[in-house]
Amino acid sequence: MSKTRAIIITGNGTNCEIEAAHACRLGGFDEAVIAHIADILSGDIRLDDFHFLNLTGGFLDGDDLGSAKAQANRLKYAAVSGSGEKLVEQFSRFIADGKLILGVCNGFQLMTKMGMLPGFDGNYLTQTATLTYNDCGRFQDRWCYLKCDPDSPSVFTSGIEKGIYLPVRHGEGKFLCSDDAILGRIEEEHLAVLKYSGPEYAEATMEFPANPNGSINAIAGVCDPTGRIMGLMPHPEAFVHYTHHPRWTRENLPEEGDGLILYKNAAKYAKENL
């Protein structure tokens, strides 16, 4: 069996790439490569050589034009040097080949503005949703309870019975759709993978601060209909070990943090299917 390889794109204001690479290795990937976007645009690194693409948090291009919008335009329209190929063609081929993409925070913002999510009817390049300014009007840095939809097709959340506990840190995390029909399909097809909730994961909530941004229907994470492409505002790479938990010195916690399951599921899928 060939080695499973994850790629984490960095540059132009991303962060968390080291944490994401560590999470990929802990999750079971044989290799996790941090690649600057310039190396991909130059043709030195190709997405075709990997199985799992990570789009991490940060403040791409200083959030000019709105969070991740400048990078979304760059990835959709920039050409790969010397190849006669647009970079977006590599993204489209990556998806068509059945591979995995996870966007976290700024990465989720990037995916929605490229049109990758919700990705209805195989259309991954037409924007139908966005992430915008928190209702509270300020940056939020806190831990949140996230209710998981057990009927979601998401590869990443497979096996999560009730929910997970992860940190958020964003100023533009409010998920919105272009119209009610898009939101309706997201809900009907169980693509709203994670929703902000209370501690028992019983009900989704619109109440601040449990819902830190006012996201419509309390949506914290969305996948496409295949379940292989997912974005979420909370940071799974920031909780892969119990010592990352804010109460690790006061509670008896399992060694693995809640976020690690997403990377373990991704590695398992890659080993079995790619």
pLDDT single digits (tens) 9-45:
999 999 999 999 999 999 999 999 999 999 999 999 9
Whether 235 sits among the annotated catalytic residues: the reply is yes
User: For residues 189 and 224, is the Cβ–Cβ distance under 8 A?
Assistant: no
Number of domains in the chain: 1
CATH number at residue 252: 3.40.50.880
How many residues in total does the chain contain? 274
Concatenated DSSP letters of 7-66: EEEE-SSB--HHHHHHHHHHHT-SEEEEEEHHHHHTTSS-GGG-SEEEE--B-GGGGTTS
Is residue 136 annotated as part of the catalytic site, yes or no?
no
Tens of pLDDT, residues 215-237: 999 999 999 999 999 999 999 99
Percent of the chain beyond pLDDT 70? Answer: 100
Residue 170 annotated as catalytic: no
Give the active site residue among 105, 144, 148, 223.
105
Q: Using alpha carbons, select from 7, 5, 17 the residue that is nearest to residue 56.
A: 17
Tell me which amino acid residue 236 is: P
Burial per residue of 87-101, b for 16 or more beta-carbon CB atoms within 10 angstroms, e otherwise: bbebbeebbeeebbb
- Residue 145 φ/ψ, nearest 5 degrees: -90, 135
The whole-model pTM stands at: 0.97
Query: Residue 188: which residues within 8 A CB-CB, separation 6 or more?
Result: none
**8 A C-beta contact, residue 31 and residue 5:** yes
Range of the domain at 28: 5-273
3-class SS of residue 128? coil
Identified catalytic residue from 17, 19, 172, 237: 237
